[in-house]
């Protein structure tokens, strides 16, 4: 158990850190609450797709007497969280009244866009259904596909990002990242009929632009080149542009803000792209040849105990007893 002197030392150390770091200088600061942001996403999902995500489906149907209350519940909760987001920035340009007025306007405009967002998501669902022969029904996609959950949350977050709402869009997409393994920055611009197949490990950076009818497989990275001083590139185009009807196979990496993949192109699995690719082009990585050599007569387990360690044995074993790869 800590004694009083230990507690006082800890307290003084925390106080010193707080006094010397602007991030900690406002202990009374309130930020948006993640659990409430998640609940807002769940309510929106239930309004858009009644019967799929709630046991109280009738509350979310447009003709229901409860529909009015459901929309107002979302609107009030979202407005409150946007106000907290503005407060957390300590922006001198926003008084308390200004923050409330801005949040109220943003939330109302966002709510009025929900039908259009629903249309976009229905196109995404259709693209997944038509593109995945393993999908037995559209309902199966809605209920069980993590890629659709990531796309749904991205499209909600992107609208708030465009409205310049602080914090909340990133909170939403990082929550999606946590539950699906798919990372889509809310600032990315993604066209209609978007399909992520499998999805684990997909990364789509902030300034990425993706056209319509694009299909992406697991492990794809749409990123920036290695940055020595990232702060100098804030608000610049750092991520690639992907044209319409493009397919990106598993584990390919496409990097750079000036890199453009032309319409109707196909990028093969494992490709590493840092230059633009013309339209109607297929890019494939040729499989490396595997050559083997062994000297079984002179190699025993006793004199080569590290035989399973490819690199070490290849370099150190005089008998050259381990299978090695040569270009």
Q: What is the CATH number of the domain that holds 204?
A: 2.160.10.10
In angstroms, the CA 327 to CA 325 distance is 7
Nearest to 222 by CA among 189, 178, 175, 197: 189
Task: Give how many domains the chain has, as a whole number.
Answer: 4
Of 180, 210, 245, the last residue of a domain is: 180
| Contact present, 186 and 172 (Cβ < 8 Å) | yes
Q: Which domain holds residue 310?
A: 291-327
Strands 215-216 and 247-248 come out as parallel
pLDDT tens string, the chain, 327 residues long: the values are 888 888 888 888 888 888 778 777 665 557 899 999 999 999 999 899 988 876 554 454 555 557 788 899 999 999 999 999 998 886 666 677 888 999 999 999 999 999 999 999 999 999 999 999 999 999 999 999 999 999 999 999 999 999 999 999 999 999 999 999 999 999 999 999 999 999 999 999 999 999 999 999 999 999 998 767 777 788 899 999 999 999 999 999 999 999 999 999 999 999 999 999 999 999 998 876 655 555 556 655 554 444 444 344 444 444 443 333 333
Alpha helices in 20-167 (DSSP H): 34-48, 67-88, 96-112, 114-131, 138-144, 146-162
pLDDT at residue 295 in the model: 57
18: left (phi over 0), alpha (psi -120 to 50) or beta: alpha
In angstroms, the CA 122 to CA 126 distance is 6
pLDDT at residue 241 in the model: 98
Regarding whether 59 and 143 lie in a shared domain, the answer is yes
Regarding whether 10 and 100 lie in a shared domain, the answer is no
Read out DSSP for 230-241? GGGGTTS--S-E
pLDDT at residue 62 in the model: 56
pTM of the model: 0.80
Regarding whether 211 and 87 lie in a shared domain, the answer is no
Regarding whether 320 and 212 lie in a shared domain, the answer is no
Regarding whether 311 and 227 lie in a shared domain, the answer is no
In angstroms, the CA 60 to CA 53 distance is 10
Regarding whether 295 and 283 lie in a shared domain, the answer is no
Nearest-5° Cα angle at 129, 125 to 135: 120
Of 134, 163, 180, the last residue of a domain is: 180
Regarding whether 80 and 201 lie in a shared domain, the answer is no
Of 180, 197, 223, the last residue of a domain is: 180
pLDDT at residue 313 in the model: 41
| Contact present, 193 and 123 (Cβ < 8 Å) | yes
Regarding whether 298 and 226 lie in a shared domain, the answer is no
Regarding whether 175 and 46 lie in a shared domain, the answer is yes
Regarding whether 146 and 54 lie in a shared domain, the answer is yes
Regarding whether 245 and 171 lie in a shared domain, the answer is no
pLDDT at residue 325 in the model: 38
């Amino acid at each position: 158990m800590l004694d009083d002197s230990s507690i006082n030392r800890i307290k003084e150390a925390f106080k010193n850190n707080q006094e010397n770091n602007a991030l900690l200088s406002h202990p009374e600061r309130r930020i948006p609450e993640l659990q409430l942001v998640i609940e807002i996403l769940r309510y929106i999902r239930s309004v858009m797709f009644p019967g799929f995500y709630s046991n109280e489906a009738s509350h979310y149907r447009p003709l229901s007497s409860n529909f009015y209350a459901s929309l107002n519940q979302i609107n009030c909760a979202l407005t409150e969280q946007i106000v907290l987001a503005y407060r957390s920035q300590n922006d001198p340009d926003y008084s308390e009244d200004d923050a409330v007025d801005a949040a109220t306007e943003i939330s109302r405009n966002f709510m009025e866009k929900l039908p259009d967002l629903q249309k976009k998501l229905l196109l995404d669902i259709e693209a997944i259904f038509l593109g995945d022969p393993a999908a037995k029904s559209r309902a199966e996609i809605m209920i069980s596909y993590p890629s659709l959950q990531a796309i749904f949350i991205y499209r909600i977050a992107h609208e708030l990002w465009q409205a310049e709402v602080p914090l909340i869009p990133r909170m939403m997409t990082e929550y999606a990242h946590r539950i699906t393994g798919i990372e889509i920055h809310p600032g990315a611009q993604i066209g209609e009929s978007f399909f992520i197949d499998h999805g684990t490990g997909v990364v789509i950076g902030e300034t990425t632009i993706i056209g319509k009818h694009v299909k992406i497989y697991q492990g794809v990275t749409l990123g920036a080149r290695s940055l020595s001083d990232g702060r100098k590139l804030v608000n610049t185009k750092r991520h690639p542009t992907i044209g319409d009807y493009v397919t990106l196979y598993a584990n390919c990496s496409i990097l750079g803000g000036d890199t453009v993949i032309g319409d109707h192109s196909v990028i093969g699995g494992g490709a590493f792209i840092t230059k633009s690719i013309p339209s109607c082009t297929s890019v494939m990585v040729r499989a490396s040849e595997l050559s083997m050599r062994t000297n079984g007569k002179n190699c025993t387990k006793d004199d080569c105990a590290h035989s399973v360690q490819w690199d070490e044995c290849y370099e150190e074993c005089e008998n050259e007893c381990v299978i090695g790869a040569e270009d």
